[in-house]
Structure 1
Amino acid sequence: MSEHDCTAVFFDLGDTLASVAVGPDGRTIVELKVFDDVRPILDDLRELGCPLGLISNPGAISHDEVDRWLHTSDLASVLEPELIVLGRKDSPRLFRTAARLAGDPSVATSVFVGEDATERAFAREAGFRVAPHPRLARAVVESGGPLTFLRATVPEGGAWAEAFDRCGAVACDVTPGPPTTVLGVGTSNSVQALEGLGWRVERLGGPGLPATTDLYLIRDLDVSAVGVLGRKLGDDNAILASTGQDVLLAVPGGSEVEDLHLAAGQHGHNLKLTPLSGLGKRPVDLGREPAVATGLGTAALERTEADVLERTVTATRVQDIIARYTGGATADGPPLRSRHILHADNATAVDRAVAELAAMDSMVSVRRHRFSHQGRAYENVEGELPGSGLEGVVVISAHLDSTAARQPGFRAASDPAPGADDDGSGLAGVLAAADAVCRLARTLGSARRTVRFVLFNAEEHGLVGSRAYARDQAAQGVPITAVFQMDMIGWDARSGRSWELHAGFSGDRDVERASQALGKLVAEEASAVSPDLLAPQRYGGTIADPAETRSDHHSFHLHGRPACLASEDFFIGPDRDSEPDANPNYHLPADKAVEVDFIADIARAVTAAAWVTATRPAR
């Protein structure tokens, strides 16, 4: 009998063992795909003698539906039926129930593995040992030392991804060099193993910190503001490292990072750095992708295609969508006062977007992509127009949530956060693009790649929804060939029609070059379908990109997918003497006014580029 025979290991399901997609009704699972690295981990734990269980909150999904998909995915074959525990994880109670079912009333030997720090905190309160990622489960079972956040400096030429796997650590983020540095989670044994390879490894914070905290990067701070963050969290030890205007924080489960919103914060000032499998492993041959195929940049729209776009992506259409999502009167129900993730109207906005995409065209299938954040379940919205004759997936995206956290005393659960520009403008752009692409598909019947229209949730809390979505697509091997993100495309106070295209990714120059090709295509199509726009300010390559890591396109860069971001004139540059046309209502309740003609112009250009990418074969 193994010394680990009495160690029951419980896992969360969605985000931890598998990606879960739910149908439009919110009650039916339409896809449950187990991550590739999960089954070997589960088999390894069973060989140690550990009974395996599940602690998961299915929400409105019935227990029978969960059971059906556990069998369909073959997870049921490695889980003990009596250790499948379903219910709300908003207190230690469900964890104590699970421990009793495992025959461990003291909970002294049970382990819970889950991506959500709030849930791990409840498990710890119930007496469990915890891990934030399945790859760390065995180390916790074997008590290989408390988990620690670490920052590793990679020797020149070192293959860091393989080394992290071999040494039992999981990466959270990578900063390219020289020298390359990797942020991650591991144990004392992991640190020693990496040091044995000649790496310089720094432990960040005290031992055990990753058990109940999330790692965040907070940016755009002046030196005097650094101490404020520690005081707001009630723990100066939460500050793990600071460099210039950037601070690494360990944010406890149950704390809202938005409470740390300081006045100087720019677009994308916070980034949640969850442990991610697959970082540093490029999944596609970028040289063969349609976005960078020889001659694609000159494959302009046909006149018939441009006519459809000009009739469909209009200021009137944009105005109608903006009104429905930012507090205007609507026949669909009460006005939405906020799309903040802690406000009840966020779920209403998700339902509304699901219904609108489902009504676009009978060919469009709609799914809710589920993920967890701070102890709550949220949903991204995905509409998919299937391909016909060409391989690959083209994504047109924006974020759905809003905030008004710059307002002193802002109460997220009740106060208005209309977010007309951030990012009601991008949301309107995606829905208008979906309408246009469906019309093009019906009218022209062109061979095409699959086109997805995706609205990400919890962007304002550190790109949480898009990181979960991009991770899941990469884990499933979905051949995403291009991502076109729209974020804040509605402010044009100077009426100059100046705008930006961001494609910078210093982590992989091949990914950056492919992303720049997408930006170039958007710029070229803009001159044809949106002639009132100025030539865009383009970033990436030799021009450092201030928006790198600051919007949802970055989540795809991390997994080797080409992606570009279209935005209003938000940042200084590329000429350092140029002044941005920044929205003074950014993250305030006053974010109500947008230029609908401007939104339509940018959305039309993005849609044109996405359609060209979807319909022209690689050469």
Structure 2
Amino acid sequence: MSVIFFDIGETLAHPHVGPDGSLELQPLPRVIAVLDALREVRKGIISNPGSDDGAVARAAGALAQAFPGRFTDEALVHWGAKDSRGIFDRAVASTGGTTADGCVFVGENAQERAFAREAGLRTAPHPVFTVAAMENRPVFRARIELPDGQGQAALTAAMDGAEAVPVRVVSQRLVVVMATERGTEVLEHAGFAVAVEGGVEVQAEAEKFVSDLLARGEAVFEGEEPTPRTTHVVKREDDGRLTVRRLRFSR
């Protein structure tokens, strides 16, 4: 049986730090319903609580308060930075025999998901797509042109309960979403034209490539002054995608 590991911040919940340093987790929309639907599936956490004293204890307490009874296997709770495959390898080892391919990491950060895939886990960019990841079904990025008489509220209502979530509102008539094939079918049945652009994780790998270029000082964003090391220029498109073009070949 699969083991599902979730990130916390902006995946399961929005963290709120009080004036006294206390931490409160506010569950994000649809998350509780997803967790309840996975009641019989083993679930764990892979999340970075911060490095200050008491950070782990605060995060663990806030997790228990926000999601009582839902993450009870302490062996499957892993606190730490997700900046390499290491924490994901440890998470797989903690399952007691489940293979990496039998584990799923759910997190909103594309680079962290890339590290998880490097360790052999399946990944999902949003809790709504957890079952799709368990079944090895891809998630796509798509553009939706809102027809006359159908506003954003109607689109939100159509997505509720479907394998689809909004990503970015480009304009009053254009919304970028993530959806599985099943999700796109639901949206089309509701009267929305869905233009699928490609797999979310394929794009995530491309964005990791861009992030690595930026980290090495080999790329600048469009409009910035190139340096002698610059080989690529990065542009953020209107729908939020990062595209890259080669400026010159490195020597």
| TM-score normalised over the length of structure 2 | 0.77
Instruction: Identify the residue that residue 121 of structure 2 maps to in structure 1.
Output: 128
CA distance, structure 1, for counterparts of residue 128 and residue 228 of structure 2: 39
Other structure's SS at 1:170 match: strand
- The 3 A distance-change label for structure 1 pair 121 and 45 is same
Q: Give the SS at the match of 2:33.
A: helix
Q: Does 1:157 pair with 2:157?
A: no
Does the C-alpha gap of structure 1 residues 122 and 77 become closer, same or farther in structure 2, counting only changes over 3 Å?
same
Deviations 1:244-264, CA, capped at 9 Å, x for gaps: xxxxxx62367169635123x
Q: 1:24 to 1:262 in 2, by over 3 A?
A: same
2:227 corresponding residue in structure 1: 409
Which residue of 3, 7, 23 corresponds with 1:8? 3
Match of 1:174?
169
Superposition CA RMSD, Å: 3.0
Aligned pairs for 1:295-310 within 5 A: none
Question: Which digits, 9 at most, give the CA deviation of each residue in 1:232-279, with x for residues without a partner?
Answer: xxxxxx9xxxxxxxxxxx62367169635123xxxxxxxxxxxxxxxx
Instruction: For 1:54 and 1:161, locate their aligned partners in 2 and report how far apart those are by CA, in whole Å.
Output: 28
Q: Report the alpha carbon displacement of residue 204 of structure 1 after superposing the two structures with TM.
A: 0.6
- Residue in structure 2 matching 1:187, options 167, 173, 180: 180
Q: State the alpha-carbon separation in 2 of the partners of residues 257 and 20 from structure 1.
A: 30
- Match for residue 103 of structure 2 among 100, 110, 121: 110
Structure 2 residue aligned with 1:210, among 200, 223, 233? 200
Q: Structure 2 CA distance, aligned partners of 1:33 and 1:193?
A: 28
Matches within 5 A, 1:390-409: 406-409=224-227
Aligned residue for 1:202, secondary structure, equals: strand
1:52 is the counterpart of 2:8: no
| In 2: Cα distance, 1:131 partner to 1:42 partner | 14
Between Structure 1 and Structure 2, the one with more strand by share is: 2
Please give the alpha-carbon distance, in whole angstroms, between the structure 2 residues aligned to 1:20 and 1:109: 29
Residue 170 of structure 1: how far off its partner (Å): 0.8
Offset of residue 51 of structure 1: 0.9
Which of 166, 189, 194 aligns to 1:201? It is: 194
Partners of 1:253 and 1:23 in 2: how far apart? 37
Distance 2:162 2:25 in 1: 29
SS of equivalent residue, structure 1 residue 167: coil
Residues in 2 aligned to 1:257 and 1:24: alpha-carbon distance in whole angstroms: 38
The change in CA–CA distance for 1:86 and 1:261 in structure 2 (over 3 A counts) is: same
Contact 1:118 1:254 in 2 (8 A): no
Q: Give the aligned partner of residue 68 of structure 1.
A: 61
Residues 577-616 of structure 1: pairs in structure 2 closer than 5 A: none
Matches within 5 A, 1:506-585: none
| Partner Cα separation in structure 2 for residue 21 and residue 100 of structure 1 | 31
Deviation at 1:71, TM superposition (A): 2.4
- On the 8 A contact 1:111/1:129 being kept in 2, the answer is yes
Aligned residues with identical type, % of pairs: 34
Structure (1 or 2) with the larger CA radius of gyration: 1
**Structure 1 position 185, deviation (Å):** 0.8
Taking a change above 3 Å as real, the CA distance of residues 409 and 195 of structure 1, as seen in their structure-2 partners, is same
Aligned to 1:35: 28
Q: 1:124 to 1:34 in 2, by over 3 A?
A: same
* Counterpart residue number, 1:255: 211
Deviation at 1:105, TM superposition (A): 4.8
Query: Partner of 2:46: helix, strand, or coil?
Result: strand
- Change beyond 3 A, Cα 1:56–1:148: same
Q: Residues 476-522 of structure 1: CA distance to partner in whole angstroms, max 9, x if unpaired? A: xxxxxxxxxxxxxxxxxxxxxxxxxxxxxxxxxxxxxxxxxxxxxxx
- The amino acid of 1:150's aligned partner reads A
- Map of 2:243 onto structure 1: none
CA contact (8 A) 1:52 1:83 kept: yes
Letter of the 1:121 partner, please give it: A
Deviation, 1:212, is: 6.1
Distance 2:34 2:131 in 1: 8
Structure 1 contact 9–50 (Cα < 8 Å) conserved: yes
After superposition, give the CA deviation of every residue in 1:287-320 in whole Å (9 maximum; x if it has no partner). Answer: xxxxxxxxxxxxxxxxxxxxxxxxxxxxxxxxxx
Deviation at 1:201, TM superposition (A): 1.6
Asked if 2 retains the 8 angstrom alpha-carbon contact of 1:121 and 1:212, the reply is: no
Task: Describe the shift of the 1:194–1:32 C-alpha distance in structure 2 as closer, same or farther (beyond 3 A).
Answer: closer
The structure-2 alpha-carbon separation of the partners of 1:64 and 1:173, relative to structure 1 and needing over 3 Å to count, comes to closer
Check the 8 A contact 1:107/1:127 in 2, yes or no.
yes
Equivalent in the alignment of 2:89: 96
Instruction: Note the residue ranges of structure 1 that are not aligned, 5 or more in a row.
Output: 1-5, 215-237, 239-249, 264-405, 412-460, 463-547, 550-619
From the superposition, tell whether residues 155 and 116 of structure 1 become closer, same or farther in structure 2 (CA, over 3 Å): same
Amino acid at match of 1:13: I
Is residue 49–residue 79 contact of structure 2 (8 Å, CA) maintained in 1?
A: yes
Q: Residues 166, 42 of structure 1: CA spacing in aligned structure 2 closer, same or farther, 3 A cutoff? A: closer
Call closer, same or farther: CA 1:138–1:57 in 2, change over 3 Å.
Answer: same
- Give the 3 Å change call, closer, same or farther, for CA 167–43 of structure 1 in structure 2: closer
Ranges in structure 2 where 5+ consecutive residues have no aligned partner: 230-234, 240-251
Cα separation, 2, equivalents of 1:212 and 1:10 = 21
Number of equivalences: 223
CA distance, structure 2, for counterparts of residue 139 and residue 195 of structure 1: 19
Deviation at 1:54, TM superposition (A): 0.3
Aligned to 1:137: 130
Match runs of 1:421-432 below 5 Å? none
Q: Within 5 A, what are the aligned runs for 1:182-581?
A: 182-205=175-198, 209-211=199-201, 213=203, 251-252=207-208, 255=211, 259-263=219-223, 406-409=224-227
